Amino acid sequence: MRLQNELLGHATSVGDMFRMRVAETPDVLAFMEPDRADGPNTWKNYTWAETREHVDVLAAGLLARGLRPEERVAIISGTRLEWIFVDLAIACAAGATTTVYPNTASGDVDYILHDSGSVIVVAENAEQMEKVLADEELVADVHTIVVIDPSGVEETDRIISYSTLKRLGTEALEETPDLVDDAIAGTNHDSLSTLIYTSGTTGQPKGVRLNHRCWVYEGAATKHWDLLSPSDLQYLWLPLSHVFGKALLAVQLSYGFGSAVDGRIERIVAGLGEVKPTFMCGAPRIFEKVRAAVLTGSTGLKGRIAKWAFATGAKTRSYRLEGRDLPKLLGMQYKVADKLVFSKLKEKLGGNIRFMISGSAKLSSQVQQWFYSAGILIVEGYGSTETSAIAFLNLPTEPTFGTVGKVLPGVEAKLGDDDEVLVRGPIVTQGYHGKPDLTDEVLVDGWYHTGDIGAFDEDGNLSITDRKKDLFKTSGGKYVAPQKVEGALTANIPYISQAVAVGEGRKYCAALLVLDPPLLQKWADKRSMSHLTYAELSQLPEIHDSIERQIDKANARLERWETVKRFAILDHELTVDNELVTPNMKVRRSSVHERYADLVDSLYDKEE
């Protein structure tokens, strides 16, 4: 409790954190923004003092539009600098942010806006605005729609542009200079800061209530680890509508490092080369795709050299992890491997990366070790929306592969009777918005029941096995963690982008597989098959045979009862549009099982 109080004493709210950051390092780089041109981008820099100028007029604009304390302002936008400015403005205006993924369907947008009681919506463009206008019942609730990119949008009393909001704010500050300062002063730890809707793999989304206390603590507790400095530069592409992206903003306010902000996934590699960051956070799939590109792109002599280099790197891992000097010959070999192969990979990541952090889903230790062989450190964190994202982190200063590291300073963690991970502390949600019964199911005596199965090692590092509700039992009585099976498949077969393990009540495990479109197209181009569609390519016998030959590599990483005996390749991806993944790309297992029941049945003998 003493450490908790000390860390919470750093600030009273997100607005207070922001004001303190500006006062401490006004002329230090805060953000970088791309010009979004075709081809190479030019990046504009913003200091913390300049950031405040934008945030204050936006906050005043929201207040001028009638925003009251803790009223919700929804943001429907991809990751871009305006998202951050608006979010900080909402905090400084004493409001609360409702985050909405830009790929959320209109029906779910309606539900979130109604359930949250949002009174203002900030939409990225006309497409996102139309999702709000499609529901006439929202007219009475949402009194203002602000459009960041107003191309093709006609302004009305209800619909205004981002620049108009700033103009209204400038006028309001001229009339009442202390308008924003007074709003910040009226906000405290217990004030609602954010409503983040967990898309859930079943049922309607639930609004997770996170107070200012959560973000103040996230920022102060991660700074307690002393991992970063104001001179660090983050490449921020993660969805800010996801709790992980939102938490990184709190961490940035505490440390004062800069962030290059661009949510365009297709430009990550180009952006890294342009801004040369020192660290980046991402979901496991991003790291898997980089590895897959290297594994499938290196053939002939180049491929043999790469294979030798990574084998050499693997031999050095234990020495480097333990801080020991490399034997002379191995050290010389590693330098050659670095010059020929690893340096090129590092250059693609900008050349200055100190470490990367993986979150939002389980990272394969195989992928983690592969990168470390090349001298690139990826550590894993763990948390959930209900724990404000960062509850555990495998510290870069003492990495333990295969674990998510130690619990956040001052936060309590333990395992329940069934090895479920339980967390208690200032980062834990106050509950689900308007759903007390659901809140009581996951919050017991302040302990949040994560639904994840885990284990602690002797040093206090946590390993996550799987979701409690996702475990299935074979007819032989063995429990299988599907994420482990799926992770082995995607880590060992580069062409697989999505995998769903099945086997409840069956004799053995099987899997439904989805192939990576760019890699499949690359395969087709090399064989003069470019005229075939993705669906046609995915069903070619030679593709099936190739995957079948590689299954053994994945099975070698699994226990006997977890191994995949049969599989089917789908002729399409699992997407939000076909309702088989959530907006944050988690597979809706029940929907997949239901839709492909006949296909799954075909993977088992009739007598079963």
Burial (0-12, 13-18, 19+ Cβ within 10 Å), 286: middle
Supply the pLDDT for residue 226.
Answer: 94
Supply the pLDDT for residue 481.
Answer: 86
The one-letter amino acid code at 253 reads: L
Residue 446: CB atoms within 10 A of its CB come to 11
> Could you say which DSSP state residue 196 is in?
E
Cut 0.85: pTM above it: yes
Give domain 2-29+43-221+240-248's CATH superfamily: ANL, N-terminal domain (3.40.50.12780)
Q: Which residue has the tokens 């205006």?
A: 93
Q: Which of 274, 289, 284, 399 is nearest to 349 (CA)?
A: 274
484-497 tens-digit pLDDT? 899 899 989 989 99
> Could you say which DSSP state residue 557 is in?
T
Do the first three CATH levels of 2-29+43-221+240-248 and 282-351+353-468 match, i.e. the same topology? yes
Supply the pLDDT for residue 608.
Answer: 45
> Could you say which DSSP state residue 360 is in?
S
Residue 548: CB atoms within 10 A of its CB come to 11
Q: Which CATH number fits domain 471-601: 2.20.28.120, 3.30.300.30, 3.20.20.80, 3.10.20.340?
A: 3.30.300.30
Q: Which CATH number fits domain 282-351+353-468: 2.60.120.460, 3.60.20.10, 3.40.50.2300, 3.40.50.12780?
A: 3.40.50.12780
Burial (0-12, 13-18, 19+ Cβ within 10 Å), 1: exposed
Supply the pLDDT for residue 457.
Answer: 95
Supply the pLDDT for residue 582.
Answer: 82
Supply the pLDDT for residue 200.
Answer: 57
Cβ distance 233 to 258 under 8 Å? Answer: yes
Residue 30: CB atoms within 10 A of its CB come to 26
Supply the pLDDT for residue 361.
Answer: 79
What span, in angstroms and rounded, lies between the C-alpha atoms of 335 and 203?
53
Cβ distance 209 to 385 under 8 Å? Answer: no
Domain ranges for the chain, please list them. Answer: 2-29+43-221+240-248, 282-351+353-468, 471-601
- Phi first, then psi: what are they for 285, rounded to 5°? -60, -35
Please list the ranges in the chain whose pLDDT falls under 70. Answer: 199-203, 607-608
393-414 tens-digit pLDDT? 999 999 999 899 999 999 999 9
The one-letter amino acid code at 346 reads: K
